[in-house]
A and B are shown apart, each in its own frame.
Chain A
């Protein structure tokens, strides 16, 4: 009895060492994993997209400083390039269809990788808010550009191309604070926002009064 069970087990073990069993096993595991992941993807993708949209809208509310809007802001954009940087301009409209704000999305090379940001500008060219969308700056130093870590980005509020002659950190003679131990990051953000503002101004000037 024991002997029989043991020899059966050995035969099974041998079969498990065959190339056929092994490739079949791997193929089955891969197949199961793929099936599981596909199901999960189908199930979570709409939810994740919804979350990303919520995030974007929350950010939009912040850069507009709470101003209300009636259109789907991010559904239509105008892409423009200035100084080798790509910017996307979105138009914010009120219920009557009149333009109230512009939102510019851009990115700038920071200390370690690119920093993407969103700038809200009213029709007079005055900044209503700047928020960082994404960055990989040093935690504890460069990450003070996030509102969650420091109120620094609020310094941009009320600035415009007209009332700010020198866009730079104080170290460079400008009007924005730098952080202790990190100058490159705020310098990059100030520079990026400045060029974004110029891109928007050029775009509006070029388009005349029929601005999008």
Chain B
């Protein structure tokens, strides 16, 4: 639109690093923004499910960011939300139909989650706060970074819930990724009777809470260490 991506390479590289850091950790959709909790709780009963929904969401995010960034010049401010929702819903429906027709086994595994992607407020959030103000490439990169950040947290939560809840890890991964990935399917605890609570949505809340607490504590400890180190440096100087 108005300004093109004419930054010097160093600045662009710095910006790209920031986008990656924001998506994967600093501004992570789940760990920091606490968005998209509904699909999170519903879907992450196993690592494979988390990975599947994460990847599908990532594709939608990249495409939605791309389209919004392209259309930002013509979409007026007052109707941007309905316009963006239509873009996202159309994308999701297209992906749903394409998967159903061409990757039917994958669709059978993911089928339930794909329509859920429309209701994922994180996608609208990225479109709204990033892609509608940024150039094409950074917007796509943002979608990719945020999507990957979403995917790894979903997979991790799914993995934790799966190990505690049913004693397996990446069960049925070959249905999602193909036979080559059958080696991922492991039984962590043989003859395990399972822990129903962890598999059900309330268990998702509990595990998510524990993960968030660990994250907060880690960041707090790191910040304290940094402060002590900084104080030591100033102390030595004076």
Contact = CB atoms under 8 A, between A and B. Distances in A.
Interface residues of A, number: 28
Contact of A140 (B46, B77, B86, B175): B46
Nearest to B89: A33
Contacts, number: 78
Contacts of B79: 22, 25-26
Interface majority SS on B: helix, strand, loop or mixed?
helix
A138 B161 CA distance: 14
Contacts of A48: 97, 100-101
A149 B49 CA distance: 14
B69 to A, nearest CB: 15
A61 B86 CA distance: 42
A141 B166 CA distance: 9
Interface majority SS on A: helix, strand, loop or mixed?
helix
Interface string A114-125: 000000000000
B101 A44 contact: yes
A41 interface: yes
Contact of B45 (A16, A22, A40, A139): A139
A3 to B, nearest CB: 16
Interface of B: 45-46, 49, 74-79, 82-83, 86-87, 89-90, 93-94, 97-98, 100-102, 104, 162, 165-166, 172, 175, 193-194, 196, 199-200
Given A29-B87, A37-B94, 11 more contacts: A22-B78, A25-B76, A37-B90, A43-B101, A44-B100, A51-B101, A51-B104, A54-B104, A139-B49, A140-B45, A141-B199
Interface of A: 16-17, 21-22, 25-26, 29-30, 33, 36-37, 40-41, 43-44, 47-48, 51, 54-55, 138-141, 148-149, 180-181
